[in-house]
Chains A and B, each alone.
Chain A
Amino acid sequence: MELKKLKKHSDYKWIIEPFGKMHVPAIIYADETLIRAMDEKVYEQATNVAALPGIVKASYVMPDAHWGYGFPIGGVAAFDADKGGVVSAGGVGFDIACGVRTLRTGLNIDDIQPVKTRLADLLAHKIPAGLGSTGKLRLNADRMDDMLAGGARWAVENGYGTSRDLTHIEEQGCTADAKPQYVSEQAKKRQRDEVGTLGSGNHYLEVQQITEIFDDKIAQIYGMEKDQILISIHCGSRGLGHQIGTDFLKKMVTAASSFGIELPERELACAPIKSTVGEQYLGAMRAGINCALANRQVLTHLLREAFAQLFPKAELILLYDVSHNTCKLEEHKINGQTKQLFVHRKGATRSFGPGHAGIPAKFKNAGQPVIIGGTMGTASYILAGTDESMSLSFGSSCHGAGRSMSRHQATRQWQGRDIVNSLASRGILVRSPSYRGVAEEAPGAYKDVSAVVEAAHQANLSRKVARMEPLVCIKG
């Protein structure tokens, strides 16, 4: 993206003043290097979002932004239903509530090193990953609807995890007002045997070592110390979420003109929040969020079972679970007034600060953990939500490294087998059903995650707490 098209507010905040049909400015949080590396499409998509009906304050772009579907990946936008505001299926994406959860193991690097290979093989065996993999659960129509209404709470009620887990998931593991009746039969059919599966692409389960603590006070509140072992799971709502996205994108594309909404690109398909299709999408999308929460909860159970084989005494405690493809009804202050807004986060993580009512009491002096996944060869980060993010970005921060290179280009540049071997020589064990899949996810195909995190920190969207480096990575 060309810098000269932007107005510099500070080193980490850049503004696109409204022009044409934009109702509000677009605001980009990133440094010069990150912005230069961003696709021009990000500029186009951020300004398109700013032109949607009922948008409030600004169309925000996170430091890891790249070319998405209608919205940029790394896009945040809030809409006021009372002002004709819209909900967009493209603004949530095809992997509803894709997200990351991180667990503490209480173990140290010295505990893991002697059994690392066994652990990698065991996890690869126990965690269903990749195309066509199925979970053990088979859901009939009634159980499917219970899962879609109950989310991780449903999973815990069915023996997958503990009630303590639920307090450490956004919205206590269950999004209210999910409407399974608006989820198509096709979507439900795709999910019958996919609960408790990782998926593929950039999804993973990773064993990580904490290599640096940036904020001792918050790390202590989160229960984290250098050299401890964490486990992170990155995945989403599986086939059900993909089908909901497909179904409603089609409905919204067809319906948009009937609402007088002019779409600059079809992928920006949206409908007024106060419309039948808008309400149905919200109900179905919330069911999709619950599906993702249930999925990560069941995977956590499988992880605990596998871990217990090698470490019978280890207790895997959920640090937090964040979703980064969502639209949520939240309270935000606009010009001193509290407003109910529909906040889209497409490839962006909620980043609620200290004292926010929506985070666990234990974190009230720290803010919520903001989990940023890296690649299989680079670091991941835990950050903490900030008070400032509420006014800067509707309480949002970045979500990952963000791709800088296409899959096509990555497979031309790297061989999967070489990547697996070179990572192994650095002590990182990768297990994947596909070498080509590994090549497509090559660490070099991503932006520098540390630069993304630094920008989020410097822009006050979230505060750096800890860096983790991978030891074992199970790829889908």
Chain B
Amino acid sequence: MVDDTRKSGWEHFPHQADIGIRGLGTTMEEAFEQAAVALTAVITDPRKVQPEQKINISCSGSDDELLFVDWLNCLLYEMAIRKCLFGRFEVSIEQDSRGPAKLLKAAAWGQKTDVSKHRPTVEVKAATYTALSVRKQENGRWVAQCVVDV
């Protein structure tokens, strides 16, 4: 899934009971977007999800890693209550002018879950703090990853 000639992409990594998701990008925002695609890929093939509706998400976190987990958990919440899957994401992150926290604003495009089309594999219960990391690699590429509980 990750093409080293490009700087962005996503992949899964193994965990004994659950599954790890990893997004890579030229910016932290892009890594967060790609990790969200990786999250959808735990459930279905993201290419099968049509961008029929757009939703807005915002959240905050006291550091990059907590912000990342919160972003994924906000997405899981929206997926659960809307019965939707999302395949495309746009993320922007800025410093909270009122304090040390970071603020995330995002748009997600997707559609209602269609069992016959999407054949959802599992429901993701939560993004966790296990194997959690948000960092810029030496080659300048951003990596955002954690294990999700299924």
Interface on A for B, CB 8 Å cutoff? 39, 41, 66-69, 73, 93-95, 130-132, 134, 186, 189-190, 199-201, 239, 242-243, 245-246, 249-250, 253-254, 265-267, 269, 403-409, 433-437, 440, 476
A-B contact pairs, 19 of them (CB 8 A): A67-B15, A67-B16, A67-B17, A94-B128, A95-B125, A130-B115, A131-B122, A190-B80, A200-B122, A266-B132, A267-B130, A403-B16, A403-B17, A408-B19, A409-B14, A434-B121, A435-B119, A436-B119, A437-B120
Q: Which residues of A contact B73 (CB under 8 A)?
A: 246
Are A132 and B126 in touch, CB under 8 angstroms? no
Are B126 and A73 in touch, CB under 8 angstroms? no
CA distance A435 to B19 in the complex (A): 17
* Cβ-closest 10 pairs across A and B: A406-B14, A266-B129, A131-B120, A132-B113, A242-B125, A436-B121, A131-B123, A408-B14, A200-B123, A94-B125
Q: Which residues of A contact B121 (CB under 8 A)?
A: 200, 434, 436-437, 440
CA distance A200 to B62 in the complex (A): 32
Interface on B for A, CB 8 Å cutoff? 12-19, 43, 62, 66, 69-70, 73, 76-77, 80-81, 83, 113, 115, 119-123, 125-130, 132, 149-150
Known: A200-B150, A201-B125, A435-B119. 4 other contacts (CB 8 A): A190-B81, A201-B123, A437-B120, A440-B122
- Looking at A269, A407, A433, the one whose CB has the most chain B CB atoms below 10 A away is A407
Q: Which residues of A contact B113 (CB under 8 A)?
A: 131-132
> Out of A67, A95, A405, A408, which one reaches B12, CB within 8 Å?
A408
> In the complex, what residue of chain A is closest to B65 when comparing beta carbons?
A266
Q: Which residues of B contact A476 (CB under 8 A)?
A: 122-123
Q: Which residues of B contact A200 (CB under 8 A)?
A: 120-123, 150
Q: Which residues of B contact A39 (CB under 8 A)?
A: 16
Q: Which residues of A contact B122 (CB under 8 A)?
A: 131, 200-201, 434, 437, 440, 476
CA distance A476 to B115 in the complex (A): 12
> In the complex, what residue of chain A is closest to B16 when comparing beta carbons?
A67
CA distance A344 to B140 in the complex (A): 43
> Out of A130, A404, A407, which one reaches B150, CB within 8 Å?
A407
CA distance A2 to B95 in the complex (A): 46
CA distance A254 to B76 in the complex (A): 21
Indicate whether A433 sits within 8 Å of B81 (C-beta atoms), given known contacts A67-B15, A131-B120, A253-B66: no
CA distance A404 to B44 in the complex (A): 24
> In the complex, what residue of chain A is closest to B84 when comparing beta carbons?
A132
CA distance A433 to B120 in the complex (A): 7
CA distance A39 to B131 in the complex (A): 15
Q: Which residues of B contact A245 (CB under 8 A)?
A: 125-126
Q: Which residues of A contact B19 (CB under 8 A)?
A: 406-408
> In the complex, what residue of chain B is closest to A416 when comparing beta carbons?
B121
CA distance A228 to B12 in the complex (A): 43
CA distance A406 to B119 in the complex (A): 20
CA distance A68 to B15 in the complex (A): 10
A-B contact count (CB 8 A): 114
> Out of B13, B77, B115, B130, which one reaches A243, CB within 8 Å?
B77
CA distance A200 to B115 in the complex (A): 13
> In the complex, what residue of chain B is closest to A411 when comparing beta carbons?
B121
CA distance A249 to B62 in the complex (A): 14
> Out of B13, B76, B130, which one reaches A69, CB within 8 Å?
B130
Q: Which residues of B contact A239 (CB under 8 A)?
A: 80
In the assembled complex, how far is the CB of residue A462 from the closest CB belonging to chain B, in whole angstroms? Answer: 22
CA distance A404 to B119 in the complex (A): 25
> Out of A131, A201, A404, A406, which one reaches B15, CB within 8 Å?
A406
CA distance A38 to B135 in the complex (A): 30
Are B13 and A190 in touch, CB under 8 angstroms? no
CA distance A269 to B150 in the complex (A): 20
In the assembled complex, how far is the CB of residue B137 from the closest CB belonging to chain A, in whole angstroms? Answer: 22
> Out of A69, A134, A190, which one reaches B128, CB within 8 Å?
A69
Indicate whether A66 sits within 8 Å of B120 (C-beta atoms), given known contacts A242-B126, A266-B129: no
In the assembled complex, how far is the CB of residue A44 from the closest CB belonging to chain B, in whole angstroms? Answer: 12
CA distance A298 to B73 in the complex (A): 28
- Looking at B62, B83, B122, the one whose CB has the most chain A CB atoms below 10 A away is B122
Are B17 and A68 in touch, CB under 8 angstroms? yes
In the assembled complex, how far is the CB of residue B124 from the closest CB belonging to chain A, in whole angstroms? Answer: 9
Q: Which residues of A contact B126 (CB under 8 A)?
A: 94, 242, 245-246
Q: Which residues of A contact B129 (CB under 8 A)?
A: 69, 249, 253, 265-267, 269
Are B119 and A433 in touch, CB under 8 angstroms? yes
In the assembled complex, how far is the CB of residue B8 from the closest CB belonging to chain A, in whole angstroms? Answer: 21
Are A189 and B81 in touch, CB under 8 angstroms? yes
CA distance A236 to B48 in the complex (A): 29
In the assembled complex, how far is the CB of residue A431 from the closest CB belonging to chain B, in whole angstroms? Answer: 13
- Looking at B17, B83, B126, B132, the one whose CB has the most chain A CB atoms below 10 A away is B17
In the assembled complex, how far is the CB of residue A38 from the closest CB belonging to chain B, in whole angstroms? Answer: 9
> In the complex, what residue of chain B is closest to A132 when comparing beta carbons?
B113
CA distance A200 to B149 in the complex (A): 12
